Amino acid sequence: MGQGRYFGFWREQQPTQEGRPALCDWLGDAADPASEAVVAYLIRGLTVAAATSLERCLICGEVIGGMAYLSDGHWLWPQGLAHYVAAHQVVLPPPLRHWIMARQGVPFELPEDPLRELDWPTDHTK
Ligand SMILES: [Zn+2]
């Protein structure tokens, strides 16, 4: 398939990972009218992995949460993604955006072993 069910892992955070999308390519021109619903959805993601270090916004430098990965049981995103959508109009890829709009109000449920069963970025560049 080639396209994983994860988003928000930027090349700017890991310049050696050329397979990652560049944050600057995902900045929108105007606020998405649905962004409030999208942000609320992203914020309520369940934590599947976390580290103790803090994550700063690559654009404005604000602390945007811990190094944490959230999921709804299907998609995976870093905790800071909500900030990029809310503050910098980052647009989500259509499959993720459609998924979120179709799943408003649906409770999240993680698989038994999220580290194995969710789709994670592989970060293999070759
Ligand atoms: Zn920011």
- Spacing, Cα 86 to ligand 1 middle (Å): 9
Measuring CA to CA, how many Å separate 124 from each of 20, 81, 115, 120? 10, 22, 17, 11
- Spacing, Cα 117 to ligand 1 middle (Å): 31
- Spacing, Cα 87 to ligand 1 middle (Å): 6
- Spacing, Cα 44 to ligand 1 middle (Å): 19
In order along its 126 residues, the chain shows pLDDT tens digits of 346 899 999 999 887 877 889 999 999 887 778 899 999 999 999 999 998 889 999 999 999 988 899 999 999 999 999 999 999 999 999 999 999 999 999 999 999 999 999 999 876 443
- Spacing, Cα 39 to ligand 1 middle (Å): 14
Instruction: List Cβ neighbours of 77 (8 Å cut-off, separation of 6 or more).
Output: 6, 7, 8, 42, 45, 69, 70, 71
- Spacing, Cα 9 to ligand 1 middle (Å): 15
Note the pTM of the prediction, 2 decimals: 0.90
- Spacing, Cα 12 to ligand 1 middle (Å): 14
